[in-house]
Each structure stands twice: as C-alpha cells, then as structure tokens.
C-alpha cells in the first residue's frame, strides 16, 4: 500500500484509476505543485499525497473532473417547438391533391399536370420538381408517405421550427428532383412525397449529428445518428417493386447537406424568431401553390 512508499511520512490515497487516467490526474497535481506518488494496487493505480496536502489535492482533482466531464445526454439538441402546424399543412396538402386527382377537379388531369417527368422538367416545366412531391395515385402510397412524413417532419419542425423546417424539407426535395431531371433519362417519371420524406430524414440525421449531445464523445458514439439514418433509409426506402431508390437517395443526400448547413450556421435565437418562421412557412406554402397553379394552367 501507499504507506510502504515512504515509512517516514504519512500518505493518503486521493484517487484510484487505470494507468492512463492516474497519469492524467498526476499531471494535475504536478501543475498545482502538490507532491504525489503513483503505485499499482489491487484495484488499479493508486495516487497518493502527503496527509497535510490531502484536502488540497482532493479539491483540485474534483474541480478538474467536474470541468472535464463528458456526460452523454447532458448537452441536448436545442429545440424550437411549434411543429404541429407544419405537420397539419403537410397532411392537408397531400389529402387535397389526392382527392383532386381522383375527382378531376376543374376537369383537369392532376396526375399528368403534376407528376415528375424528367424530359418535361428539362424542357422548362420547373413546377414538376415541386408538384410531384404532393401527387399520390393509390391510397397505400399516400398512407405510407403520410405516416413517415408526419414522423420525420415533426422532428424537423421541432428542431428547426414549423416554417424553417418545412421550407428546408421542400427545398431539399425540390433540389433532389432537379438533380434527378439532370441525370435520369428523359422518359423517367415518378410521383410521391417519398423524396421529401427522405430529405427530412437526411436533415434530422445531419442536424442531430452535428448539434446533438454526442458531439463531445468518442467518434464511435458521434456517428450513431448517421448509422441510424442510413439504417432507416435502407429499411424504409428500398421496399416495393415500384420504389424509386435513386430518388430516395437523392432526397436523403440533399437533406443531409441542408442539415449540415443548419447545424453549422443557424443560430437558435434566429430560429426562435416568430417572424422568420412565419415568412418561411409562407414561402413554403406559396411555392406549392404557385407551382400547382402554373402546372394546372399549363395543363388547361
């Protein structure tokens, strides 16, 4: 034991740790000018100091450990709240377009007017990169995108706000569709909110990765959100014979890029601005409205 290190002095154990950690603590005592010795013991390396310096050494080590603690879960992702209005708008738009498509509102073919068509997008029909995100032909397709869109969209709105969050989702998905128009053959067509759903997942993955409480932990822990996001992409984005895997991947990548941008540059104070949230919500809704108006007028 420590008493065996020096029979002429009384030594007190102030810490027991593994070799690396005890060496780290010994450096703290060295920096504070406190005499100390390290010896291996049954429970690990024991760090001892002369009895008169025990109180000072204990205080210094306690302060050091408190200042350098890395308790996972203590640094939560800041949230903005108010996610439900954005979710409600998402559900309302998808249901309205679905009903209009099947009822042929205005005696127009909403499917032809709004679906993604790579050749027509490249020909100048820009609105299709937006309108296609709201078009669903069958109820099963609609239901799936409602469920996952509400789930992922809620959390994007929770962290970024109902306006900024949904504008980010819409913008990322539209960018993904624009890229698809550039690289897909001219005959390629698609419909559905899936691209937006996976854009939301990408935003969540990147934002929680860079802003989450895991940011001060070892790298294996820090990449947990990425692993989870890729797992969800693989689990929910690759099923069904008519699944557009490339569109899902593009949506996820575009959203991931947006999430990185928000994590790096967005200030919480700015995101909490009601005016900014309202403006972004108006832009998102207005973009969908203008895109559909343009598309229906062109179809009519």
Averaged pLDDT for residues 282-291: 97
Residue 35's domain comprises 2-67
Q: What tens digit of pLDDT does each residue of 99-109 get?
A: 999 999 999 99
CATH code, domain with 166: 1.20.1540.10
Question: Would you state the pLDDT for residue 280?
Answer: 97
Give phi and psi for 126, each to the nearest 5. Answer: -60, -30
Q: Is the pLDDT of residue 6 over 90?
A: no
Q: What is the pLDDT of residues 146-163, one digit of tens each?
A: 999 999 999 999 999 999
Residue 165 pLDDT exceeds 60: yes
84 near 58, Cβ under 8 Å? no
The total of other beta-carbon atoms located within 10 Å of residue 133's CB is: 32
- 153 and 95 together in one domain: yes
271 is a domain residue? yes
Co-location of 45 and 91 in the same domain: no
- Give dist(CA 3, CA 67) in Å, integer: 31
pLDDT value at 127 more than 60: yes
Same domain membership, residue 92 and residue 11 = no
pLDDT digits (tens, 9 = 90+) for 173-202: 999 999 999 999 999 999 999 999 999 999
Question: Are residues 295 and 236 located together in one domain of the fold?
Answer: yes
Residues in the chain: 300
The total domain count for the chain is 2
- At 194-245, the pLDDT tens digits run 999 999 999 998 998 888 655 555 545 455 556 655 665 665 545 555 557 8
Give me the pLDDT at residue 31, please. 86
Does one domain contain both 158 and 252? yes
Decide if 128 contacts 117 (C-beta within 8 A).
yes
Amino acid 8: pLDDT: 41
Q: Which of 7-11, 80-84, 260-264 has the highest mean pLDDT?
A: 260-264
* Residue 24: predicted pLDDT: 86
In this structure, what CATH number is given to the domain that contains residue 45? Answer: 3.30.70.1530
Domain assignment of residue 165, yes or no: yes
């Amino acid at each position: 034991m420590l008493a065996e290190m020096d029979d002429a002095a009384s030594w007190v154990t102030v810490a027991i740790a593994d070799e690396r950690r005890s060496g780290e603590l010994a450096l703290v005592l060295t920096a504070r000018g406190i005499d100390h010795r390290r010896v291996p013991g049954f429970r690990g390396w024991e760090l001892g100091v002369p009895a008169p310096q025990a109180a000072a050494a204990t205080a210094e080590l306690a302060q050091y450990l408190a200042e350098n603690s890395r308790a996972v879960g203590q640094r939560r992702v800041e949230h903005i709240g108010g996610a439900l209005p954005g979710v409600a708008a998402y559900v309302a738009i998808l249901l309205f377009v679905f009903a209009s498509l099947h009822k042929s509102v205005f005696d127009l073919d909403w499917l032809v007017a709004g679906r993604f068509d790579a050749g027509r997008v490249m020909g100048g029909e820009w609105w299709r990169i937006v309108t296609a995100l709201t078009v669903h032909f069958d109820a099963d397709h609609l239901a799936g995108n409602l469920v996952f869109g509400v789930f992922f969209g809620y959390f994007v709105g929770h962290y970024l706000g109902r306006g900024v969050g949904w504008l980010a989702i819409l913008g990322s998905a539209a960018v993904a569709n624009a890229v698809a128009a550039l690289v897909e053959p001219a005959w390629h067509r698609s419909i559905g909110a899936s691209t937006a759903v996976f854009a939301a997942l990408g935003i969540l993955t990147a934002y929680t990765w860079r802003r989450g409480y895991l940011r001060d932990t070892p790298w294996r822990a820090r990449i947990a959100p990425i692993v989870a996001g890729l797992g969800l992409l693989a689990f929910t984005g690759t099923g069904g014979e008519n699944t557009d895997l490339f569109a899902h991947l593009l949506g996820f990548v575009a959203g991931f890029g947006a999430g990185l941008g928000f994590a790096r540059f967005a200030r919480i104070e700015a995101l909490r601005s009601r005016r900014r949230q309202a403006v972004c919500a108006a832009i998102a809704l207005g973009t969908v409205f203008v895109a559909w108006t343009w598309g229906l007028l062109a179809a009519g």
